[in-house]
A and B are shown apart, each in its own frame.
Chain A
């Protein structure tokens, strides 16, 4: 089945799944309340958004310069930088590194880019055991599912479902109490941290002037992944670079507030390389994989390049009335929600154009975006691109051409309107609903006996 048809099928099923909607509403209500509290800590939230947008825009406008600055600082201290044009190159580099060093066990902290390049299956094929260590990621890994949400991967599950899963896969779980569930995962994952030879993390920011990788983690799994194994590999997109260390003074609190409502993420971590001479601990090797995979093409699109400002906070997903009904898995993409609908056609082609149509263009996403990406405008732009590339079905093109023809003449509009209403009424009497594609999901209003024009002419208005 093609992605568009599958999307339609899944979203029909999900939006009618009341239990799913209950769980998402519960999560979103908690998120909304936390963000409201979080924003109240700012004197001027919009000023913070403007500042973050300006920082990230500066970064993107000088992307080559800042990337090279970042690279030279890392390399100076003995770290390795690998530039990957696509997913295949990135996977190969990491797979070769794992093979060369005899890596058998890998721990991962949360990274959407590793999802984007399908890294875990590639390492598993080599015989490595790969363990996700973010609790939400670990839960979806045990269920053999992709993350449901870029910040809260297991948002679609109740504690009861998680408890059932843990009882099957882990030891010592007797209740549904989240404290007990977290403790069970902690015990299990601790063994993994201390046994692993390679830790793989993502990056929230690459700081050019300091030559450091910024990783935000609440659980501390990102800290353990980057402290204990003897090899640390960072996998990240080239757009994550920011110019200055002090920029994080705004970016860190804004990311945390938009992401979860926290004032700042518990562990806002900067890593510049492997363990130095004289340091107590840390890995022996440090690698950063800088992934392009379509990002430089998006940069060339001057209209849409601001999408590269994205800091992956998830706020647009949470605000989106479509995401709230159909959930994350329905998108069948690495990045879900409005930002996913904007980015995916760029990364994976016109097969994902339908996502830009799954929107009422209400603009909620744009209004919450902490780096002020013009998201809903880009959804419209994507539709434009889809039409221009001749990717719309003939029926849709025909319908719009007919509509334009009809609307461009007063008398045509009136006559065809009357004909249309007549046909609908007659068909209804015969038990046929000509509006069924619409009324399948919605209730239609009664058809008026007279049009507005007729009423006007008779002086009834």
Chain B
């Protein structure tokens, strides 16, 4: 780990910092407006960032998932190998690949995975490698998320606090905050949904 360049760079930094910077005045102030009802805010934000979001009762989620899957076209579906997702897919009889069988195929038409948390302030998902792997949220044109209302947290900062508490960065090589579908505005600043990742993000939130 120690190389001559490393030592020289660190020595230069050390000697540069011998002269301290002018102090920066900073008082902590509220930055974002307070968030009221988490579920309502999450739904409103999802609408704004092109995420399809439904809150369903536990017994309705199988039907809801089936309905979403019926609309994605034929082809292989990749799913996180988790007990709840296995339960919901019990009657699914299309081609199905579980995360325990390897990374999603390039040709996957949809991926199904869970999240670590739902972020109300921005309508975002906190995910990790444990949610079906890195590819589960990016490879297919449709990403379907199975979540629970008790996973809602107010904002990104609280999601990152949760990540610290659960040591997510130690346990996973990937942690991500996903907000909406893949998008680009590189052509004349015009928004196009569905660049390299999913064109459709559907979140099924089960009421706890």
Contacts and interface: CB of A to CB of B under 8 A. Distances in A.
Interface of A: 23, 26-27, 30-31, 34, 41-44, 47-48, 50-51, 53-54, 57, 60-64, 67-68, 71, 75, 77, 81-85, 89, 133-136, 139, 152-155, 157-159, 162, 178-179, 181-183, 186, 189-190, 193-194, 207, 210-212, 218-221, 223-224, 226-228, 238, 245-246, 248-250, 252-253, 260, 262-276, 279-282, 286, 290, 292, 296-297, 299-300, 302, 305-306
Contacts of A134: 186
A134 B173 CA distance: 23
B146 interface: no
A43 B21 contact: no
Contact of B16 (A218, A246, A300): A300
B3 interface: yes
B173 A220 contact: no
B176 A268 contact: yes
A279 B13 contact: no
A153 to B, nearest CB: 7
A44 B29 contact: yes
Contact of B21 (A135, A190, A245, A302): A302
B70 interface: no
B138 interface: yes
Interface residues of B, number: 81
Interface stretch (B61-69, B86-94, B126-134): B126-134
Given A220-B138, A248-B160, A135 B133 contact: no
B126 to A, nearest CB: 10
Q: Is the interface of B mostly helix, strand, loop or mixed?
A: loop
B156 interface: yes
Contacts of A299: 12-13, 16-17
B164 interface: yes
Interface in B151-199: 155-161, 163-164, 169, 172-190, 192, 194-198
Contact of A139 (B1, B173, B186): B186
Interface string B128-147: 01101111111100000000
A81 B1 contact: yes
B141 to A, nearest CB: 10
A219 B189 contact: no
A281 B5 contact: no
A418 to B, nearest CB: 47
Given A245-B164, A260-B185, A282 B173 contact: yes
Contacts of A75: 1
7 contacts: A82-B3, A190-B106, A218-B184, A223-B137, A246-B164, A249-B157, A271-B174
Interface in B91-112: 99-100, 102-104, 106
A257 to B, nearest CB: 11
A57 B9 CA distance: 19
A36 B175 CA distance: 30
Given A83-B9, A135-B184, A263-B179, A276 B189 contact: no
Contacts of B36: none
Contacts of B29: 44, 47, 50
A31 B6 CA distance: 40
Given A85-B5, A272-B169, A276-B173, A43 B33 contact: yes
Residue from A75, A211, A224 with most neighbouring chain B CB atoms (10 Å): A224
A30 to B, nearest CB: 4
A280 B102 contact: yes
Given A154-B186, A248-B160, A280 B15 contact: no
Given A81-B1, A224-B197, A280-B100, 12 more contacts: A67-B10, A85-B8, A155-B189, A157-B187, A190-B106, A219-B184, A219-B195, A269-B177, A281-B135, A282-B134, A299-B12, A299-B16
A210 B122 contact: no
B20 interface: yes
A198 B136 CA distance: 20
Given A135-B195, A245-B160, A280-B132, A220 B155 contact: no
A47 B187 contact: no
B145 to A, nearest CB: 14
Contacts of B176: 223, 267-270
A51 B179 contact: no
A178 B192 contact: yes
A276 B3 contact: no
Contact of A279 (B17, B22, B157, B173): B173
B12 A296 contact: yes
Residue from A71, A81, A157, A245 with most neighbouring chain B CB atoms (10 Å): A245
Contact of A265 (B99, B106, B179): B179
A84 B183 contact: no
A62 B138 CA distance: 36
Contacts of A273: 173
